[in-house]
Amino acid sequence: MTGVYLLSGGVPSRRQMVRAALLRAGPGAAVTGVEAVRRHGVSRVPVDGLVHLLVTPDSRLASQSFMVVERSKRPWSTTIVDGVPLASPARALIDAARRDGRLDVVRAMLADGVQRGICTVNDLAHELAHRRLRGSALPRIVLEEVGDGVRSAAEAWARRLILRSRLPAPAWNVELRDKQGRRLGIVDAWWADVGLAWEIDSKEFHLAPDDHERTTRRHSALTAAGVLVVHTVPSRLRKDPAGVLRDLYGAYGSVAGRAVAAGVAAGHG
């Protein structure tokens, strides 16, 4: 990289690459995109060997080697994490998302950031509302999903399937409690009108792996409270969507004429 040299031999570490890019960019630059997202604490991020920097519009710095330079007229807030200036979590997530054309990767990043409390849906919406940039189509799709309560790629597949079906739209990621106020658990989808829950059972796809181990215990508690639960593995959503819908139609029809599970209270998880 022009003007920056690695004095030790071998391949530079990630820390050295970030440091080199910032030295080359000079004061005022900030790391954004995947590198910033990872440093903010988002875990479901793609492998990315680049260092994406924000610089002022009057900067003459050009992208070079592993350094991607983006001039921005819109000011950004900077947070120092481990000595590295980072763009805000929402800005970094949107910058990372719009440079990745894989819908499920974008889903994982944005949902993980929201579920971990690193940023909010409103933060992300604010970023998108003030920026009309190339690559923003996927983040907008995912933001609508996350705004509905979807928190994983598999849940997003499930949501799309329901939208194409004859079933009413459920609420997503809903916490259920019994009549004594005891927590029954969070179900992936909930039809409150009939007391039907839908679980997408996968340790791999869900953002909270511990929920997978608690599935059996939660299912028993829900059943005892009068909630009918339909279980689906993520792979079936893609391989056999018609079969999944048959299961849901059958379950919904079987409980449609009965009283809703007594004493079960719901709220977003």
Q: Which two tokens stand for residue 52?
A: 């994406």
The per-residue pLDDT for 269 is 56
Q: CATH 3.40.960.10 occupies which residues in the chain?
A: 153-268
The pLDDT of residue 12: 78
Query: Is the per-residue pLDDT at 8 higher than 90?
Result: no
* pLDDT reported for residue 210: 53
pLDDT for the residue 213: 57
**What number does CATH give the domain 153-268?**
3.40.960.10
Which of 157, 170, 148 has the alpha carbon at shortest distance from 234? Answer: 157
pLDDT at 160: 95
Q: Does the pLDDT at position 198 exceed 70?
A: yes
In the chain, pLDDT over 70 holds for what percent of residues?
A: 86
Higher-scoring residue by pLDDT: 163, 136: 163
pLDDT at 217: 76
pLDDT in tens, 68-122: 999 998 899 999 999 999 999 999 999 999 999 899 999 999 999 998 999 999 9
Nearest 10 degrees: Cα torsion 83, 88, 92, 93: 130
Q: Is residue 176 a contact partner of residue 190, using CB atoms and an 8 Å limit? A: yes
H-state helical runs in the chain: 14-25, 33-40, 89-98, 103-115, 121-129, 137-147, 153-163, 210-213, 215-224, 234-239, 241-255
Percent of the chain with pLDDT over 90: 64
Judge whether residue 205 has pLDDT over 50.
no
| pLDDT, tens only, 215-265 | 677 778 888 888 899 999 999 999 999 999 999 999 999 988 665 555 566
This prediction's pTM: 0.78
